[in-house]
Structure 1
Amino acid sequence: MDGFAIYPAKRKGYYTMPKYHYHDYYEIYYLLSGDRYYYIENKRYSIQKGSILFINKNEIHKSVDSTVPDHERFCLYFSSDFLNRFHEDQKKLILAPFLHSNKKIQFNLMDQSYIERLLFQMHNEFNQPDGYGQPVFFESLLVQLLLFSARKQKRDRPEHQEDPMNSRMSQIIAYCNEHYRNDLRLELMAEQFHISSFYLSRLFKRTTGFTFKEYINTLRIREAEKLLRDTNVKMIDISEQVGFANVSHFNRKFKQVTRMSPREFRKFIHKKE
């Protein structure tokens, strides 16, 4: 169905997503069993059975295994258009969990039963082709899930619940997020933050799941996608604006991440509109 999808998955053993990704739609991740780590932007969350995460549009994220094998989860996706019939003030209320500083909610056993019932209802309906009134059915259950979560956030007022990071590492990531358009090299960053390049490389990978270069390139490609989607700026200018040394390097890295060249991406986006 256009604008909405829900998928369960049960994995045996240890599993880590092969790479970070981001997308132009909302994602809800609910863990039915197991223990995981989940990176969203520059934060790492430890999640257990009954944990739910709200990943906003275009937020970089990745699921990583912990020391516990086996897990089962639901992933639910929906587009901005799916809730179009609601007024802006209503949408702001419905989408509040995605805008909260803490992306995680931990439900108690009673709440888990309610949330899982909603998810299984959505999944059963999703597997019924051409169900009568499907969009309205999905919308009603999705709004219940989001409002229930928003109320819990407001009632509990949780502080950040991500795993504590090395304070220096938090500063480094924040610096990268702000200055990725500049010439950011591992050696220069190490010198600026008074640590060795070798130690920074290992710390960065352990803390974020990214290599330093992967993280910077992902930030740059995400900004390039926005410029390709929203402007008519030339490729060579986009390449320069997001921090690539030359347009050929930009084209190569863009295709590695998106599986399309920048020109193909722009044509694809405009054709969808």
Structure 2
Amino acid sequence: MNEFNASYWMLENTPSILAKSMFYYVQSTGHFFCNDGYNTERSSYDSILLLYTINGKGILNYRGQEYSIDRNQGFIINCNEHQHYKTAREGNWEMAWLHFNGSESRLYVEYILKNSGPVFTLSANSVIPDRIRKIQDAVKDRNTRVDISNSHMIVEMLTELMLMACTQNAGGEHLPHIVSDAVKRIENNYREGINLDLLSRELGISKYHLSRVFKKHTGFSPYEYLIKFRISQSKMLIKTTDLQICEISNTIGFDSTSHYIKIFRQHEGITPLQFRKLWIKS
């Protein structure tokens, strides 16, 4: 990068050994304001880059194709491969970005690239700008829980991009707003007593239509999606905290511990306590 052609701030992050072995982890993040002299070209960098345009326009060359990255668009790429991105000719480019790695990052990204390519368009309800800002704040004000919360937010962004990729692969269209809104409401309120009736009222749609369109585009009913999300959150708590099983059950929104244990066993084949013992042993 040519510093005469850009003003910027960036943050480097050194994840813990635990984070690198278990989580999705942040490597660096920043916010750039660039004129037409800015460009970056590289390869063999062990990282995933997620970037979106706030204002102006950028150009990405990746896997033999050139892409325009306009306002409210972004891209995700594997930086081990050759990449070249720059400000569009005679213009400016303001963007926020995140380098991350770990866990199943490459499998997520390869699926997204295969099904929808590197470039995406942010919906009005996209979590990506908010999560990148929160990750940046967390890296600035580092505390003992930052690696766990950052991993969770990275998964949220990857999930959004995977849902877009699934829909584009199936029908060539973005996920309907009603479905993406329902997904976000479920994920943001999974600890509470959310149900199909409440969800449909909040979205202003009949519960029968919501069930059909949600199942069509996600493969799950809203209730199935809620349960799967709760179980996923509980597995993270089992692995990363000393909370008792009854406390985890209450934290993720189950009315009773026995019901939580029953549902967990249905999904994982073992009880939460057995899952914890296996995790500690491994």
Q: TM-score, normalised by structure 2?
A: 0.47
Structure with higher strand content: 2
Which of structures 1 and 2 has the larger relative contact order (alpha carbons within 8 angstroms, sep 6+)?
1
Report the TM-score, using the length of structure 1 for normalisation: 0.48
